[in-house]
Structures are given as C-alpha cells and as structure tokens.
Amino acid sequence: MKFVDEFRDKDLAKRLSSAVAAEADPSKQYNFMEFCGGHTHAIFRYGVQDLMPDNVKFVHGPGCPVCVLPIPRIDNAIELAERDGAIVCSYGDMMRVPASKKRSLLKAKASGADIRMVYSTQDALRIAHDNPDREVVFFAIGFETTTPPTAVAIKVAEKQGLKNFSVFCNHVLTPAAIQHILQSPEVRDIGTVSIDGFLGPSHVSSIIGSEPYEYFAEEFQKPVVITGFEPLDVMQATLMLIRQINAGRYEVENEYTRVVTREGNCKAQDLVAEVFELRRSFEWRGLGDVPYSALRIRDAFSEFDAEKRFAVQAGNGRDVKGCECPAILRGAKKPTDCKLFGTVCTPDNPQGSCMVSSEGSCAAYWSYGRFRTEKESRAKVA
C-alpha cells in the first residue's frame, strides 16, 4: 500500500532500533509520554516497545478523545437522546463508554432512544435534512483535529437554514492538557511520574502547528517531538528525544514534517475561532477541572448550541468505584495497577473509559500488551 508500507518497513525499524540502543545512555532511564491514543495504538499494534532497549519506556497519556470525556457529559448526551423526537448522532467509539448507573449510549439505544452512529458531521447534517420534524443533535467530541469539521457543519447548517440541527459541543484542547499534566503534583513535586519528554500529537498539530508547544517546552524544560502515527515515526521521534536529552536540550522538534508546519492550518484555525470560543474551565476525566481547556459555541451561533437549546444541566455522575482511569490518564498508574483490569473490566464489559476505545490505554494493554505483561511476570517468577 503506497504511502503506508513505507512507514512500516521492517529493515528501517531494525536500523532505528539499533540506533536507539546505541545512543540511549545505559545509566539513564528515559520515560516518554505519548500524548495521543493514536501513538499508543501504534506502539502496541506493531510491538514498538519490543524494539526499544529496557531503559526506554513509553508512558501512555490522556490523548484518547473518548477516554477524557467525564461521565456527566455522557449522561447529558443520553438525556438529550431520551427527549421526545430527538436523534443523537455520535461517533462509534462513544457508543460503549460507560455513563453513570451502568448506562451507555448503546444501552440507551437498546431501550428505545434514537442514537445513530456516524462517520462524519456530514452524515449528521444529512440525517437532519432527512428528518425535518425531528431534533437532530450531533454529539461533538475530540481534540483540535475533529473541531474544524464541527465548525463546518455549524456553518453549513446556518447557510442552509437548518432549524432542527444542533451540536452538543465537547471539543477539548491539547496544549492545555499537557501543561496541566506537567503542573500536576505527581510530576512536579512528588515525582511519582517521571516524564522526560513528549511524543507530540500528529493530527492535532497538523491543525494547530508546532508553535503552541514552544511555551511549555521552555517553561518545564521538557523536549517535545511532534510525531506521526506510523510505527517508524514513533521510533524516529524517540531517537530525536533521546538525542535532545543527551545533549541537554529541550526544544520543540518536528518529526512529522510531511504534514505539520510551525503555523499549522490557518484556514481551519480561523474557522474554529469564528464558531467557537474558550470555556473558562472544563472537566476532564482523570485530570479534573482544567482551565481554558475546551471550546464552546459562540453566541452568534447559539441556535445550533444544544446546551442552550435544551438547557443542558451539569450532572454529578461519578466513576465506578475502584476504577483507576483518572490516574491512568494522568500517567500516574499503569492499567495493570488497577484492581478492575482484566477482572471485572474487559473490552467486552468496560467499567472505565480507558477500556472502551481502541485508543484507550487499558484496551490497548488488554488487546496487544497483555501477552507481554504475562511474559514479563513469568520471567520474573523464573
């Protein structure tokens, strides 16, 4: 497959693996947080950790858009779907995420709510067109990557005078979350989580550019390498991070130059700025309230804002007792540290959000990494 196979080449991987092993200082431990779920997925699906020396480890970050959404917001989406005559459109990953009281969008659908799985905002617009007597709500989630399409949908709905379409906006911002992690006591004071550098977001950075990371690379003295989602990207970026650390540098470097520029996609940024504005604060699962970390729809487009249209109230649903998703999302714990992992919580019966999406660390550990953990523990016993 052209433009894909090139980034999964076994021989190049071997060469990069040798380069990492040669340049990583055996007296040092290198812990790199990959922010995005896409990176977590690539690391597990291709077995990238196998190709790293023992002192280079990946810490899985909170960059799975499904995992970071707090329970009260999912409760809100279910409430919206249960209104008379409503249709809620959601990306597929969101369907199985547990809400409070053991509910989920999938279960709400089974008990009669009209919830449709869509692949794009265009599908949601089409559903609104086809059902003029129904209220169609698009459950918008995701980082900077999925925000521009939501902005486009709102603009199109306005232009076409669609009266039955609105957006339940849950778009969140990456740089604010990374900064929040670096300021957390686990990283800054207690030191239970050691993060020596970041594999920076790939698709997100194609929109926002590499510039927004410059402030905290400098402020927290941590190197950031913007990294593509292919396994060779991850390996190359790891090598670049090791080189920065060995040289005492903490800069923003760009491994993903085939897509990301320093400025990013200005057209998309303008569109987002026209339709959305910053929320003063937004709750993230795992991180709690993070200031200026999410977007809401501007007043000029308030007729398309489901929160205003249906007076959505903040709920108080809580995580399942014993679920360590919050600590796992911060990188403070590993999935295997959670008592529920693999016992009551599996991909078939997820208790926490990290077990749902294939980008979630728990699901990735379960699907691709469980064998490795098993092998390691057997090796330890022997």
Partner 1 sequence: MNEMPKRFGARINLRKGHVDMTHGSGGRAMAQLIEELFVRHFDNELLSQSNDQAAFQPPSGRMVMSTDGHVVTPLFFPGGDIGSLSVHGTINDVAMSGAKPLYLSAGFILEEGFPLADLEKIVKSMAAASREANVPIVTGDTKVVEKGKGDGVFITTTGVGVIPDGIQISGDLAKPGDAILVSGHIGDHGVALMSKRDNLEFETEVASDSAALHGLVAAMIDEVPDGIHCLRDPTRGGLAATLNEIASQSGVGMHLQAADIPIRNDVAAACELLGLDPLYVANEGKLIAICAPEVAERLRDAMHKHPLGTNAAVIGTVNDDEHGFITMMTEFGGSRVVDWLAGEQLPRIC
Nearer to partner 1, 294 or 355 (CB): 355
Taking the C-alpha atoms of residue 54 and residue 372, their distance in angstroms, rounded to an integer, is: 13
Residue ranges in 256-275 that form contacts with partner 1 under rule CB under 8 A: none
Which residues are CB-contacts of 280 (< 8 A; sequence separation ≥ 6)? 291, 292
Instruction: Say how far apart CA 277 and CA 267 lie, in whole Å.
Output: 16
Counting Cβ atoms within 10 Å, is residue 359 exposed (0-12), middle (13-18) or buried (19+)? buried
**Which residues, in sequence order, are CB contacts of 164 under 8 Å at separation 6+?**
128, 131, 132, 133, 134, 135, 136
Which parts of 105-164 interact with partner 1 (CB under 8 A)?
118-119, 123
Closer CB to partner 1, residue 133 or residue 348?
348
Q: Which is nearer to partner 1, 91 or 256 (CB)?
A: 91
Residue closer to partner 1 (CB basis): 49 or 194: 49
Our CB check for partner 1 shows the closer of 90 and 210 to be 90
User: How would you classify the pairing of strands 281-284 and 288-291?
Assistant: antiparallel
Considering the complex, what minimum distance in angstroms separates the CB of residue 87 from partner 1?
13
Q: Is 348 an interacting residue with respect to partner 1 (CB under 8 A)?
A: yes
Which residues in the 69-108 window bind partner 1 by CB under 8 A?
96
Determine, following the binding rule CB under 8 A, whether residue 4 of this chain makes contact with partner 1: yes
Which span (254-262, 287-295, 320-328, 362-370) binds partner 1, by CB under 8 A? Answer: 362-370
Buried-state track 56-74, b at ≥16 Cβ within 10 A, e below 16: bebbbbbbbbbbbbbbbbb
Site for partner 1 in 264-323 (CB under 8 A): none
Near partner 1 by CB under 8 A, which window of 4-12, 53-61, 190-198, 256-264?
A: 4-12
Choose which of 62, 201, 331, 369 interacts with partner 1 (CB under 8 A).
369
Q: How far is the CB of 269 from partner 1 (least distance, A)?
A: 25
Nearer to partner 1, 118 or 173 (CB): 118
- Residue among 110 and 300 whose Cβ is closer to partner 1: 110
Instruction: Please say whether the beta carbons of 64 and 354 come within 8 A.
Output: yes
213 secondary structure, DSSP code: G
Integer Cα distance of 246 and 248 in angstroms: 6
48 counts as binding partner 1 under rule CB under 8 A: yes
Q: Does 1 bind partner 1 (CB under 8 A)?
A: yes
| Interface with partner 1 in residues 227-256 (CB under 8 A) | 231
Query: Hey, which residues does 199 pair with through a beta bridge?
Result: 34, 225
Element counts in the chain: helices (H) and strands (E): 16, 13
Closer of 84 and 348 to partner 1 (Cβ): 348
- DSSP string for residues in 94-149: GGG---GGG--HHHHHHTT--EEEESSHHHHHHHHHH-TTSEEEEEEEESTTTHHH
**Near partner 1 by CB under 8 A, which window of 42-50, 207-215, 267-275, 328-336?**
42-50
Enumerate binding residues for partner 1 (CB under 8 A).
1, 4, 8, 10, 13-14, 17, 44-51, 96, 118-119, 123, 231, 346-348, 358, 363, 366-372, 374
